[in-house]
Amino acid sequence: MQFVLLAARFVLLTASLVLVTARFVLLAARFVLLAARFVLLAARFVLLAARFVLLTARLVLLTARFVLLAARSLSLPGRRLAGSDRFLAVTRAFYQE
């Protein structure tokens, strides 16, 4: 009879250890999922920053193009335009190219 009780105790102890291990595995899985969410969020922020950098680069390039067109239109030989006419000529050239 004592052997049966000892065996039953061993089975209960093993079952409780299995349950505790399962709880730890589930907790670890939750932490892994949480870490994955943070990684995805960080990736989104990196992509957003990359978009901002590309947009800024495009703006810089467009500004440089506009400045070059302005410099070219101001240095045309034989053309002396008034200030507002110069601006209109540069703007027209900018949108035509």
Place of tokens 């703007």: 91
d(CA 50, CA 89): 35
User: For the chain, first and last CA: distance in Å?
Assistant: 99
- Domain total of the chain: 1
Specify the DSSP class assigned to residue 17: H
Domain containing 64 equals 2-96
The per-residue pLDDT string of the chain (97 residues; one tens digit each, 9 = 90 and over) reads 888 889 999 999 999 999 999 999 999 999 999 999 999 999 999 999 999 999 999 999 999 988 888 877 776 665 555 556 667 777 777 777 5
CB 80 within 8 A of CB 60: no
Place of tokens 């400045």: 67
